[in-house]
Amino acid sequence: MIPANFDYSAPSTLDEALSLLQEHGDEAKILAGGHSLIPMMKLRFASPAHLIDINNIPDLSSIKEEGDSFHLGAMTRESDVEHSEALTGAFPIFADVTKLIADPQVRNMGTIGGNLAHGDAANDHPAVMMALNASVEITGPEGTRTVGIDEFFFGFYMTAVQPNEILTGISIPKQRGKVGSAYHKAERKVGDYATAGVAVQIATDADGKCTYAGIGLTNVNAVPMRAKRSEEALVGSDLSDELIAQAAMMASEDCNPSADLRGDEEYKRHLVKVITKRMIHKAIQRAK
């Protein structure tokens, strides 16, 4: 349970952190909540030569409502998200997802930025951010750029964040009309990574017609994935039970789960189908 040795710095400004990254290049890793990184280092699956701890940089942790979007600082802890009434009020999906991520102690440390930057399809926030159509702010030596969530994940542990960059924030647009969201994952026991998880956000207009559908899937694809066909089927429709069932079926067909101890492909596809259906209904029910 003991990591290999490394050097450590804890800069107090973003600029300082960026120049340290520049200096140490590939050898360095950002330390955010540390609850994916340190476990890997303890098992010596990762042995970075230098850790740049960004916990002491002020202003990276915040939840702000800015006009028609919410802005989350990268270092916002899961427990901050969980306890933010503004955020969970607007997006009940955040109450759903945080409850299902690990356990309270992990959530006191784990950050929302780290959850995305880790680039693991087993993490829960990627699917949620897809459902919400979030965009990610990335800051590097050249300044800050914004990347849509669909362009963020590249592969196993690979994201749009370059070795000399830091994920600094996440922006979540508020959809118009009646909006509802929900998340659920099947897990072997509480705190486990998902066997399969589904995040859904639905918006409808005054006539009950679907104006927005966002569906993200957890741990049923090599990279976090959006159930595109399902979304397209729903948008513009009146969200009939039948259509919802079809959309759920599409999600289960389009994902690419691999067999592991949590289940085989058939089981996971089945779960995607059932949970997608249930979450769409729940999102609609919650819409306000």
Partner 1 sequence: MTKIRCKTSKEIGGMGHSMKRKEDARFIQGKGNYVDDVKLPGMLYMDIVRSPYAYAKIKNINSEEALKVPGVVAVVTGRDLEKYNLHWMPTLMSDTQMVLPTDTVMYQAQEVAAVIATSRYAARDGKEAVMVDYEPMKPVIDAHKSLDADAPILRPDKEGKTDNHIWHWEAGDKEATDKVFNEADVVVKQDMYIPRIHVASIETCGCVANYNKVDNHLTMYMTTQAPHAIRTVIALVAGHVGLTEEKIRVISPDIGGGFGGKVPVYPGYVIAIAVSFLTGAPIKWIEDRTENLQADSFARDYHINVEMAGTKDGKIQATRFKVLADHGYTDASANPSKFPTGLFSIGTGSYDYNNAFMEADAVYTNKPPGGVAYRCSFRVTEAVHAIERITDRFAMEVGKDPAQLRMENFIKKEDFPWKSPTGWEYDSGDYHAGLKLAMDTVGYDDLRKEQLEKRAKGEWMGIGISTFTEIVGAGPSKDFDILGIKMFDSAEIRVHPTGKAIARFGTKSQGQGHETTYAQIVAEELGIPAEHIQVEEGDTDTAPYGLGTYASRSTPTAGAAAAMAARKLREKAKKIAAYLLEVSEEDLEWEPGKFFVKGAPEKVKTIQEIVFASYTNHPPGMEAGFEATHYYDPPNLTFPSGAYICVVDIDPETADIKVRRFVAIDDCGHIINPMIVQGQVHGGLTQGIAPAMYEELIYDEDGNILNGTLMDYLVPTAVESPNWETGHTITPSPHHPIGAKGVGESPTVGAPPAIANAIVDAVSHLGIKHLDIPITPFKLFKKLKEVGAIS
Partner 2 sequence: MTMKKITVKLNGAEHSAEVEPRLLLVHLIRENLNATGTHIGCDTSNCGACTILLNGKSVKSCTVLAVQADGKEITTVEGLATAEGLHPLQEGFKENHGLHCGFCTPGMMLRAVELLENNPNPTEEEIRWGISGNLCRCTGYNNIVKAIQYAGAKIRGDELPSTEPEFV
Ligand X SMILES: Cc1cc2nc3c(=O)[nH]c(=O)nc-3n(C[C@H](O)[C@H](O)[C@H](O)COP(=O)(O)OP(=O)(O)OC[C@H]3O[C@@H](n4cnc5c(N)ncnc54)[C@H](O)[C@@H]3O)c2cc1C
CB of 3 to partner 1, least distance (A): 9
CB of 187 to ligand X, least distance (A): 7
CB of 175 to partner 2, least distance (A): 30
Partner residues linked to 196 by β-bridges: 186
Applying CB under 8 A, among 61, 62, 69, 79 the residue interacting with partner 2 is 79
Contacts to partner 1 from residues 203-242, by CB under 8 A: none
Q: Provide DSSP, the chain.
A: --PPP-EEE--SSHHHHHHHHHHHGGGEEEESS-TTHHHHHHTTS---SEEEE-TT-TTSS-EEEETTEEEEETT-BHHHHHH-HHHHHH-HHHHHHHHHSS-HHHHHH-BHHHHHHT--TTSSHHHHHHHHT-EEEEEETTEEEEEEGGGTEEETTEES--TT-EEEEEEEEPPSSEEEEEEEEE-SSTTPPPSEEEEEEEEE-TTS-EEEEEEEEESSSSS-EE-HHHHHHHTTS---HHHHHHHHHHHHHH-----BTTB-HHHHHHHHHHHHHHHHHHHHHH--
**Residue 123 touches which of partner 2, partner 1, ligand X, none (Cβ within 5-8 Å per kind):** ligand X
Q: Which amino acid appears at position 174 of this protein?
A: K
Site stretch for ligand X (CB under 6 A), options 64-72, 118-126, 129-137, 175-183: 118-126
Does 133 interact with ligand X (rule: CB under 6 A)? no
Q: Which amino acid appears at position 94 of this protein?
A: F
Applying CB under 8 A, among 19, 62, 108, 246 the residue interacting with partner 2 is 108
Q: Which amino acid appears at position 92 of this protein?
A: P
Does 194 interact with partner 2 (rule: CB under 8 A)? no
Site stretch for partner 2 (CB under 8 A), options 40-48, 115-123, 143-151, 211-219: 40-48
**Residue 270 touches which of partner 2, partner 1, ligand X, none (Cβ within 5-8 Å per kind):** partner 1
Does 39 interact with ligand X (rule: CB under 6 A)? yes
List residues binding ligand X (CB under 6 A): 29-37, 39, 74, 101-102, 106, 109-111, 113-115, 117-118, 123-125, 161, 166-167, 191, 193
List residues binding partner 1 (CB under 8 A): 1-2, 4-5, 43-44, 186, 188-192, 195, 261-264, 266-267, 270-271, 274-275
List residues binding partner 2 (CB under 8 A): 1-8, 10, 31, 34-35, 38-39, 41-43, 51, 53, 55, 79, 83, 99, 102-106, 108-109, 190-191
